[in-house]
Amino acid sequence: MTYDAVEASHGWGVLHLFYAVDHDRADREAGGAKRILEAIDTFCAVEPHQIRTFAVLGHKADLGIMAVGPDLARLQALQQDLARGPLRLTWSYVSLTESSEYAATEDDERARLVADESLTDPAEIEQHLATWRERIQHYREQRVHPALPERRMLCFYPMSKRRSDDPGGDNWYALPFDERKHLMAGHARVGRTFAGRVVQLISGSTGIDDWEWGVTLFADDPDALKEIVYEMRFDEVSARFAEFGPFVTGIVLDPAETLRRVGLDP
């Protein structure tokens, strides 16, 4: 298939697709699983496009596919190619990777070193800042141009910030920027306590899909997925301002094994 690439000026496309297996069609049409695998191989043949496939737990779908890459036209072509297999799309979600507008700046980190660690020597502060710059550069690059991790479990859900029109109601967007940034810094500190246990990919969908963000969590331990969402709901950002959509959880496997687990033998 020939098409013109469609790329965002900032960030990569993220496409979550959730399918029910059409077993009647699979029985009638030979080679359905092979067509699905060919669609995945074709998409991933051009770097840095990536896919994770997972067998979904619960009734919302059988098969989940998370596809990431710079070319949205390639993502759309993948969706059309997958439709040639014995699959029925039950839900989808579209978003773009993004950097956070609330991320700490170098001035923020310098002020923290002085206030929290009582550093006063300019040379020592600069040494700490050099380490911080390297770490934050990696973090920002991974957020905008992610390498999808190899973990056993995946959980996806969309969310938005509450914006009540009622007098006295919670409206995230009515808060001054500095207050929102302060609240998000505390929210991020809770998330960092799960470093090594949970990998988070937060992608933006304002104006693109029904919610404002898509959140994908990767972990080896299913309990870590439950724990991080539970703990973060006590944080003010979630407790006062978060609205959550449906959650979908699955077991991450290589594409051929995923298809076997949902009843499509390659």
Note whether residue 115 is domain-resident.
no
| Residue 39: CATH number of its domain | 3.30.70.1030
Note whether residue 91 is domain-resident.
yes
pTM for this model (two decimals): 0.91
Number of domains observed in the structure of the chain: 1
pLDDT tens per residue, range 150-188: 999 999 999 999 998 787 789 999 999 999 999 998 888
Active site residue 157: yes
Note whether residue 66 is domain-resident.
yes
pLDDT tens per residue, range 38-59: 999 999 999 999 999 999 999 9
Note whether residue 218 is domain-resident.
no
Burial class for 75, CB neighbours closer than 10 Å (0-12, 13-18, 19+): buried
Domain membership of residue 56 as a residue range: 13-98
Note whether residue 206 is domain-resident.
no
Catalytic residue among 3, 93, 157, 230: 157
pLDDT of residue 104: 79
d(CA 110, CA 107): 5
Note whether residue 37 is domain-resident.
yes
pLDDT of residue 158: 98
pLDDT tens per residue, range 71-126: 999 999 999 999 999 999 999 999 999 988 888 787 877 877 777 778 888 888 88
Burial class for 196, CB neighbours closer than 10 Å (0-12, 13-18, 19+): exposed
Note whether residue 175 is domain-resident.
no
d(CA 53, CA 137): 29
pLDDT of residue 1: 60
Note whether residue 211 is domain-resident.
no
